[in-house]
Amino acid sequence: MIPKLLQMLNETFSIPLQPSPFMYFLLVAISFVLLRRWSSNTNSSVPPSPPKLPIIGNLHQVSSLPHRSFQTLSQRCGPVMLLHFGSRPVLVISSAEAASQVFKTHDLTFSDRPKFIFFEKVSCLNYKDVVTAPYGEYWRQLRSISVLNLLSNKMVRSYRAVRQDETRLLISNILESCNTKSSSSSSSSTAFNLSDMFTRLSHNIICRVSMGRKYDDIEEEGGKVFMKLAGDLTEFFTRVNIGDCIPWLSWVTRLTGFDAELDDLAKRADTFFDMVVQEHIDKPNIGDGMKDFVDVLLSVQKENAAGVNLDRVGIKGIILDMFAGGSDTTFTTLEWVTSELLRNPRAMEKLQNEVRGIVGNKEDITEDDLVGMHYMKAVIKETFRLHPPFPLLIPRSTRENVKINGYNIEANTQVMVNAWAIGRDTKSYTNAELFEPERFLDSAIDYKGNNFELIPFGSGRRGCPGMNFGVTVIETVLANIVQKFDWKLPDGARAEDLDMSESTGVTAHRKYPLKVVATPYFP
């Protein structure tokens, strides 16, 4: 058993542990103590748990796609399940009924965040951003600033020109790809990478709105500083830090180089966002005279409105949240909705008929046109159901002891809500694995946090404040690309052959870039 345990630690945490007499003795002693404690725990009032191993708990049962692993385990243990990641207790919620207790009945109790080393170092030092700040007065102030000054319906509408500009640029790039391919005789060049285009569009929109301009032109040592930082932030967030799970082994990350990499990332992120803030201090309204998020936050800081103590670290934290939450989730959803439409030609045709019927021969689709596109809204809801941007919603932590489904949950328990599994629950949806937008045409279910069968943006106090901004971008882009182009897979591939594998990560992107062939549509 000990060699297998050493192998699991190596695979889970990339810890180069070598067998030795001391290591065998230490693991045997720890295993004996933990097994006695485990075997003596017969408290039936705690949620059911799958069998766990000493030291690592249930980590060996979690794959690189944890939302899928949790679904499998919950089918055996139930929708309220207790796991252990090392010494950290983790409550996993996998049903709409249980989620309603977390987000509605006991929302205040579940309103805290667990403390992760990544959040502490990268999220602008000691949890001073909206996403990771502990529940309390400081968090309420930041949340209020974000909702009232940055993400209100009025502010979202004010950035309409940015969305239209970047959508036009996307359409232009697609047209250019079409013209390039049509003049080429090479069949291998008929497809282009739509995933890359969605990524650039999302980054450009969120950069212009939050920071006043695009930052993809800054180069250092031959590389794009901003794009590398964005990729590293996303990639690093997916890595397991052994110190979060087994605190007494946190020293191992110093030996493996994990700490040095994290410190470097934190420094690069802080330097970049500090540069952005300083640019705005030196030259307000750098975005063609338009007030962006940084301008607004600096005004709030200067006015000290309602006694809000917003310092420079808090400003950088909010901008980091807007970037991380706004860009990644937007292009992820655009990838999946296009993929599902390509896999379901009937749905694609129905959506194109709706959009083209409403828009007619107009060159530009306005956001007023979107109001009547009911099937498109159903398509987006169905995509959120099958492919929520965060399959596991950002973890919460219990502030006090609480009871869920009759089970006692202790304070300081990490809570993970499996939005991916809830969206595929056969108790809530028929044909739950199939893409059927029609299910939402005559349904009152929405994604705004009041219907717990569909919670891609979370719910309650900690729900995503940028939901309206993100959905508006998705609707604008989707309406334009289905109106202006006909789409198919390259090399005569059949719809059912499209690989829908997910990548590992906090946001579940496509594992492989979406390569497509587009043909301009002329009415």
Both 13 and 114 in one domain: the answer is: no
Please report which confidence band the pLDDT of residue 182 belongs to, taking 50, 70 and 90 as the band edges: low
Listed range (16-30, 139-153, 298-312, 472-486) with the worst mean pLDDT:
16-30
What is residue 284's predicted lDDT score, i.e. its pLDDT?
Answer: 72
What is residue 329's predicted lDDT score, i.e. its pLDDT?
Answer: 85
Helices then strands, counting H and E runs in the chain, come out as: 19, 11
What is residue 19's predicted lDDT score, i.e. its pLDDT?
Answer: 55
Q: Among 410, 407, 376, which Cα is nearest to 479's?
A: 376
**CB-count burial class (<10 Å; 0-12, 13-18, 19+) for 446:** middle
- Please give the residue that has the higher pLDDT: either 217 or 399: 399
pLDDT greater than 60 at residue 142: yes
What is residue 369's predicted lDDT score, i.e. its pLDDT?
Answer: 93
pLDDT greater than 70 at residue 399: yes
What string of H, E and C letters represents the secondary structure of 345-377?
HHHHHHHHHHHHHHHCCCCCCCCCHHHHCHHHH
Please report which confidence band the pLDDT of residue 387 belongs to, taking 50, 70 and 90 as the band edges: very high
What is residue 2's predicted lDDT score, i.e. its pLDDT?
Answer: 47
pLDDT greater than 50 at residue 144: yes
Q: What's the whole-number average pLDDT of the chain?
A: 85
pLDDT greater than 60 at residue 4: no
- Please give the residue that has the higher pLDDT: either 381 or 301: 381
What mean pLDDT do residues 55-84 have? Answer: 94
Both 121 and 242 in one domain: the answer is: yes
Q: From CA 211, how far away is CA 276, in angstroms rounded?
A: 7
CATH code assigned at 197: 1.10.630.10
Listed range (187-196, 357-366, 492-501) with the worst mean pLDDT:
187-196
What is residue 244's predicted lDDT score, i.e. its pLDDT?
Answer: 77
Contacts by 40-43 with C-beta closer than 8 Å and gap 24+? 43/408
What mean pLDDT do residues 140-159 have? Answer: 86
pLDDT greater than 60 at residue 259: yes
Both 322 and 218 in one domain: the answer is: yes
What is residue 108's predicted lDDT score, i.e. its pLDDT?
Answer: 96
- What is residue 457's DSSP assignment? T
CB 171 within 8 Å of CB 480: yes
Both 389 and 302 in one domain: the answer is: yes
Both 50 and 109 in one domain: the answer is: yes
pLDDT greater than 80 at residue 47: yes
Both 411 and 399 in one domain: the answer is: yes
What is residue 328's predicted lDDT score, i.e. its pLDDT?
Answer: 80
What is residue 484's predicted lDDT score, i.e. its pLDDT?
Answer: 95
DSSP 115-153: --HHHHHHSTTTT-STTTSPSSHHHHHHHHHIIIIISSH
pLDDT greater than 80 at residue 376: yes
Domain end (from 9, 24, 41): 41
- What is residue 219's DSSP assignment? E
- Please give the residue that has the higher pLDDT: either 244 or 109: 109
Which residues 6+ apart lie within 8 Å of 31 measured at CB? 1, 2, 5, 54, 55
What is residue 307's predicted lDDT score, i.e. its pLDDT?
Answer: 60
Count the Cβ atoms, other than its own, within 10 Å of residue 270: 17
What mean pLDDT do residues 9-38 have? Answer: 50
- Please give the residue that has the higher pLDDT: either 290 or 195: 195
Q: From CA 387, how far away is CA 385, in angstroms rounded?
A: 6
What is residue 123's predicted lDDT score, i.e. its pLDDT?
Answer: 59
Both 20 and 154 in one domain: the answer is: no
Question: How do residues 489-505 score in pLDDT, each as one tens digit?
Answer: 998 899 999 999 998 77
Both 155 and 247 in one domain: the answer is: yes
State how many domains the chain has: 2
Listed range (64-68, 242-246, 447-451) with the worst mean pLDDT:
242-246
Both 20 and 67 in one domain: the answer is: no
- The first and second tokens of residue 224, run together, are 């794009």
Question: How do residues 427-483 score in pLDDT, each as one tens digit?
Answer: 999 999 999 999 999 899 999 999 999 999 999 999 988 899 999 999 999 999 999
Whole domain around residue 10: which residue ranges?
Answer: 1-41
Both 276 and 136 in one domain: the answer is: yes
Q: From CA 292, how far away is CA 286, in angstroms rounded?
A: 9
Cα-based distances in Å from 408 to 67, 70, 82, 206: 23, 20, 11, 42
What is residue 40's predicted lDDT score, i.e. its pLDDT?
Answer: 38
Question: Model pTM greater than 0.85?
Answer: yes
Both 468 and 416 in one domain: the answer is: yes
Both 154 and 9 in one domain: the answer is: no
- The first and second tokens of residue 445, run together, are 């279910």
What is residue 188's predicted lDDT score, i.e. its pLDDT?
Answer: 43
- Please give the residue that has the higher pLDDT: either 368 or 91: 91
What mean pLDDT do residues 71-87 have? Answer: 95
